Structure 1
Amino acid sequence: MWSLKAVLKHHNAFNPLSKPKMFPGKPHWGFSYSTVHHTRDDTSIATEIKVPILKAFHRHSYDRDRHISCGTKEYKVLMDNFHHVSNAFLKLNKRYQEVLENTIKNMGAGMAKFICKEIETVDDYEEYCHHVAGLIVMGLSRLFHASEAEILFPDSLSNSVGLFLQKTNIIIDYLEDINEIPKSRMFWPREIWIKYVNNLEDLKYEQNSEKAVQCLNEMVTNALIHIDDCLNYMSQLRDPAIFRFFAIPQVIAIADLALCYNNIEVFRDGVKTRLGLRAQVIDRTKTMADVYGAFYEFSSILKSKVDINDPNAEKTISRIEAVQKACRDSGTLHNRKSYVDEIKPTYNRAF
């Protein structure tokens, strides 16, 4: 719970929290969000069971009587209620069903591939993130185009939007994934972490703190390369609701990266931007000018944390400055809403 001290210190953050939260009104929509991901992520399911399920998942949506019994806890609840997913799917227009089926088919095949394959290279990392996130945004882009709400975006732009979010999640979830029972989930590419430690789990040990932070900083720098495409994508969205649907997670992602960068706590207790800041992002992100302002601010916080002696400092600063230039070139920064009183290395208040 929030303490009185926290309420007084961050009082501006609490107004957005008082606004009502929207949830799907029917259970079949609630269960339709993440079925494939839960199947992939459940480490208690044996590979010989999981791989065929993933490869055939796109066909199960047509079967109201399909029952897939596997997993534990929330995974089991989801799979036991799979008929809700089918009910939702079968109520959709045929053109939407085709987009969803194709997306789920490609996602399932890609996930199945990486059940049996380690993420060795940066190219593997790009491909994995494409399968679990890039394809989702590509599918959403096609759905919104099919509904005539948006233009049809190039797959490269849609893919970058997904990759930016997925890479941020992989970075921030390091500790949760590495400590997963009964088996660790390892998504950081070996090509990056092998420069710093012998095993991915070694990053969490105190004796490797310096190398762990350097590895973390390289991972963050890798994620920054997608921001230009993300800004380009969002700037072309026409529908206000769809814009906010994409923009809010993107702003939270850059805030998460600013928090993670050069932060050993990623490997100690885990980190997460505070709830009040997330609520402010949700409340304030309404236009592209809001997005440019937020990206400029959080990239500036990130830049203030760069250690010039970091092995990737030059590349990191170059990518941050490219983001800042894009934001300045928008001509909207004079009206931006600040999330912190001033930007300086003592950035913790923002998070």
Structure 2
Amino acid sequence: MGILGEIVRKPDEIYPLLKLKMAVKKAKKQVPPEPHWGFCYSTLHKVSKSFSLVIQQLGTELRNAVCVFYLILRALDTIEDDTSIQPDVKLPILIAFHHHISERGTNEYRVLMDQFRHVSAAFLELEKGYQEAVEDITKRMGAGMAKFICQELALLNLLRCNPLPHPPRMKCPNENYCSIHFVETVDDYDEYCHYAAGLVGLGLSKLFLISQLEVMTPDWEQLSNSMGLFLQKTNIIRDYIEDINEIPKPRMFWPCEIWGKYVDKLEDLKSEENSSKAVQCLNDMVTNALVHIEDCMKYMDALRDPAIFRLCAIPQIMAIGTLALCYNNAQVFRGVVKIRPGLTAKIVNHGKTMADVYGAFYDFSCMLKAKVDKNCPNSSSTLTRLEAVQKVCRDSGVLHKRKSYIRDEVKSNRLMCG
């Protein structure tokens, strides 16, 4: 359905869309005049419009720290994601990257970002505490990414040295397309997501603490990690088709422990003839992600600063909405599914209080619950986790304050792609 058709079908989304568009334009005009800061904020707008908006609402000191932190980790992630870079080249870059984020004029990582020197210059203007936190998380993330690349290389070498018989789940049809899986178990999956996103949650919490705008609960590290894992797992589920079709080599993050119950190879989920099994596997993956929701709500409920709250809450609401869209949806194996722009605009516009969060999580979980097929092998676990989420939301005592925009989606049980 085209944009005009969406407007006709959902006229109530016109105002939120216009408001979001105006906010994006305003944010672009607020780019600092200094070349290095101008580069940082302009780049932030390009790589993540919605995230840049909520960052812009932070106080200047924290806003600059979060902006630089995001760009440095985005740069590191770009290296890790680039399948055209040979592992023997990639490994030392990932491991040593944290040493170079403070070097003015560094040209060593042009493969990552031609003008990274601007990010380095901005980094050097941050308060020392922010610098130390950013460098520590960058170091830990680079080391974690390198660890999984080493595991992948070890499996490749094993296959080359012992081509017959292949180890279980590791089939190597040729040198250019090797369907090995370095994320074997659910524990591997959690560890990978920790390095890819859990550390981002930990890093942001550290920045909030340094700013003195937040005072974290004793279990803040666990809760911060869960915030990152929930977002990362949602992205991995949603991006199946993009990752599996990556050239020159597929990127495979779904754990063998889950997909191995349904198919022989992860790429088999794309096949039409495996549609039923693929959807069951997808539902299993969504159920795995749901386990983090209670931690996420607990983390957000403890936040005090309104701008920090929005920075954390809006992505989380988008995540539960995306999982509700993906669940039991074979389209995940045909193309990337996304919440339509109009609903995204409403979430950005209304995600301001914990009542909004509880309401959104409750209503999206109701939508997801309505899609559960009792014949699905994992349906009992799915329902148990959803009911636990709904209980927390009900116990908050604020569901009567929730906005109606999500309840409309629940009633129609439709969440159309944009």
Closer, same or farther: CA 290–303 of 1 in aligned 2, 3 Å: same
**Larger-gyration structure (1/2):** 2
Secondary structure of the residue aligned to 1:343 is helix
For residues 164-175 of structure 1, what are the structure 2 equivalents within 5 Å? 164-175=230-241
Residue 144 in structure 1 maps to residue 208 in structure 2:
yes
Of 84, 92, 96, the residue aligned with 2:118 is: 84
Counterpart position of 2:284: 218
Deviation digits for residues 16-55 of structure 1 (CA, Å, limit 9, x no counterpart): 2212213571113436421111111111111011110000
Deviation digits for residues 114-172 of structure 1 (CA, Å, limit 9, x no counterpart): 12321111000000000010101101101110110111342100000000000000000
Instruction: Please identify runs of 4+ aligned residues in structure 1 that moved more than 6 A.
Output: none
CA RMSD after TM alignment: 1.6
8 A Cα contact 1:150 1:238, kept in partner: yes
> Which has the higher mean CA deviation after the structures are superposed, 122-131 or 3-12?
3-12
Of 329, 342, 347, the residue aligned with 2:414 is: 347
8 A Cα contact 1:45 1:70, kept in partner: no
8 A Cα contact 1:120 1:191, kept in partner: yes
8 A Cα contact 1:129 1:167, kept in partner: yes
Counterpart position of 1:98: 132
Give, in whole Å, the separation in 2 of the partners of 1:273 and 1:349. 7
Gap regions ≥5 residues in structure 1: none
Closer, same or farther: CA 48–345 of 1 in aligned 2, 3 Å: same
8 A Cα contact 1:304 1:345, kept in partner: no
Secondary structure of the residue aligned to 1:5 is helix
Counterpart position of 1:262: 328
For residues 1-351 of structure 1, what are the structure 2 equivalents within 5 Å? 2-19=2-19, 20-21=23-24, 22-23=27-28, 25=31, 26-29=38-41, 30=43, 32=68, 33=71, 34-69=74-109, 71=111, 75=112, 79-117=113-151, 118-153=182-217, 154-338=220-404, 339-341=406-408, 343-344=410-411, 346-348=413-415
> Which has the higher mean CA deviation after the structures are superposed, 144-153 or 61-70?
61-70
* TM-score of the two chains, using structure 1 as the length reference: 0.95
Count of aligned residue pairs for this structure pair: 345
Give, in whole Å, the separation in 1 of the partners of 2:311 and 2:409. 28
Gap regions ≥5 residues in structure 2: 32-37, 45-67, 152-181
Deviation digits for residues 165-193 of structure 1 (CA, Å, limit 9, x no counterpart): 00000000000000111111110011111
Give, in whole Å, the separation in 2 of the partners of 1:279 and 1:165. 19
Give, in whole Å, the separation in 2 of the partners of 1:320 and 1:345. 19
Secondary structure of the residue aligned to 1:62 is coil
* Percentage of pairs with the same residue: 57
Deviation digits for residues 82-134 of structure 1 (CA, Å, limit 9, x no counterpart): 10110111010111100011000000000111123211110000000000101
> Which has the higher mean CA deviation after the structures are superposed, 337-346 or 244-253?
337-346
8 A Cα contact 1:134 1:162, kept in partner: yes
